[in-house]
Amino acid sequence: QALNPSAVEVAAVEVFGERNPLVREDLTNTLVSVTAEQIEALPVDQIRDVISLQAGIVEDNDGALHIRGGRSNEIAYQVNGISINNPFGNTQAVGLATNAVEEVSVSAGTFSAEYGNALSGVINFVTKDGGPDYHGSFRSWSGDNVSSRDDIFFHVGTVAPFNHSRMEWTFSGPIPFLGKNVTFFTSGVREHDDGHLFGMRVYNREEILFIDGDNFIIDPLGASGARFRADGDREIVPMVTSDDLNLTAKLAWKPSNKLKLSYDLILDDGERFPREAGGINTFRRFRFNPDGRPQRLTNAMSHSVGVTHAISSKTFYTLKVGANFTKSRTFVFEDPFDPRYVASFENEITNNLIPPTDYLAGGTDLIRSREETRSILAKLDVVSQVLPSHEVKLGGEFVHHRLVLEDYELLFDEQQGRFIVPYPELNPNFTDYQYYAREPVQAAVYILDKMELSRQFILNVGLRYEFLDTKALYNPNLAGTVDTGVQNPEFLRTASPKHRLSPRVSLSFPITSE
């Protein structure tokens, strides 16, 4: 006989718990996590500002982070567990907007065998997933830097409401016709900043370039009687500007409770006139000749595909495959043979400095540089709770880089009346031209046993093996051959692969109120 359904009202049951406990008893090193809700509540719009609020972390004047007094290139940056470090300088390769981050965790101090390529800290960003329903957001603001100290910061007292503006949006939800198990998340940030440093176009970049028939005559001190003409239009020009665009996208598919597949895409583009380039204070040098200063274009892209699979109730693995691309270029004009290039300071032809200052009256910056990287990455982590008191974690990673660097200063050819790129084959005595392309390989494997010896004692014991093959040539006797030409092939040798075995042991003894 079928039973009739009926409703029974019971008193509400409240469950209290700490989402982020003050002391985590299962950790043997410092780990701080900041969630999306906390980021939303903070009065910041840059993810580095969120991180710099944590204890032991500072942000310098250039926006670089330092953990516990370490250098900015001693930090390992990860997105969803896969590295986004730029092999040039070991800095963060691609930016990430705050509205795309679900959680950012900072691990400082000693590291377990799971981590490598870091000395002071590991920062891991977890990106947001889409949900079963559609959600979107849009936010925008603008403002300006205002001060009464025009005697220190020229033109800063003039208010421009759109001097610094930012727009950001998100949109997420399920993929139509594929069910609620397939979701997407997208976000975008567009930011423009004219900065607080201004110059004035007193001189044009062609100020000291005269044409006499078919010949170019450089006349920096006005020997012809013209001197510095100061023919600029006196327009006030922002000197340290930036335009940034950041886009993220994520697809996630959960065919079952034990399996998840995801794809992450991050795009980060920037156009800026930096305050310094090549070690030169370009703001000061070109303050009255702003059209001659260099610009820097940056492009970065990160792809990653991840699989998380629970084999059993005690064991699961995570497999990540990714590719990172970066490109940075610094120049005044994209074409090195652009006829608008004009000789400027510290050139063998001329010196355009206004004595006794280091301001330039005309001319353009002649230094050009290019950096390109491509990194193919793969990472596998397996975690198993083999015993109630033993959690074993093992895995490995492989990275194949390609690095391209080109750096030189344009030379003026008096016979041709134009600038040339100082390729070594054109000028063997010119050694300032730098170019190289390398494809180093890195790999590592590790094993880690996390033992809960008792309620009070947590012991991590691990072993990590690391491999590096630079695939490059080097001079083993640089000091003895520097006077005879260090670039001679007979002095070069092939670098041998490097191996390192690192035992990692850490112990935690939490002190709680219990």
Give per-residue pLDDT as tens, 348-393. Answer: 444 555 656 678 888 888 889 999 999 999 999 999 998 888 899 9
Given this model, what pLDDT does residue 41 score? 87
Closest CA to 248 of 330, 184, 180, 294: 184
Question: Model pTM?
Answer: 0.85
Percent of the chain past pLDDT 90, that is, above it, reads 42
Distance CA 87, CA 213 (A): 50
Instruction: For residue range 452-475, list pLDDT tens digits in order.
Output: 877 678 888 999 999 999 998 888
| Cis? peptide before 356, omega within 30° of 0 | yes
In tens, the pLDDT along 83-109 reads 999 999 899 999 888 999 999 998 887
DSSP H or E segment with residue 50: helix 47-52
Residue 395: the pLDDT is 95
- Quick: pLDDT tens for 387-437: 888 899 999 999 999 999 999 888 877 666 677 777 766 665 555 788 889
> Under a CB-based contact definition with an 8 Å cutoff, are residues 377 and 366 in contact?
no
CA distance 471 to 438: 7
How high is the pLDDT of residue 214? Answer: 47
What is the average pLDDT across 488-506? Answer: 87
Alpha carbons 428 and 413: distance in angstroms, whole number: 15
Structure tokens at 270: 């920037």
Three-class DSSP category at 295: strand
Contact 367, 277 (CB under 8 A): yes
**Tens-place pLDDT, residues 172-219:** 999 988 888 899 999 999 999 998 899 999 888 876 644 444 444 444
Helix (H) or strand (E) holding 17: none
Q: Give the per-residue pLDDT at 513.
A: 56
Considering only 130-134, 291-295, 313-317, 349-353, which range has the smallest mean pLDDT? 349-353
> How sure is the predictor about 489, in pLDDT bands with cuts at 50, 70 and 90?
confident
Q: For residue 255, count other CB atoms closer than 10 A to its CB.
A: 11
* Residue type for position 493: R
Tens digit of pLDDT for each residue in 61-81? 777 889 888 888 889 999 999
- Tell me how far apart the alpha carbons of residues 463 and 447 are, in angstroms, rounded to a whole number: 6
Q: How confident is the model at residue 345 (pLDDT cuts 50, 70, 90)?
A: very low
Task: Give the CA-trace dihedral at 243, 204, 148, 277, to 10 degrees.
Answer: 50
Would you state the pLDDT for residue 23? 55
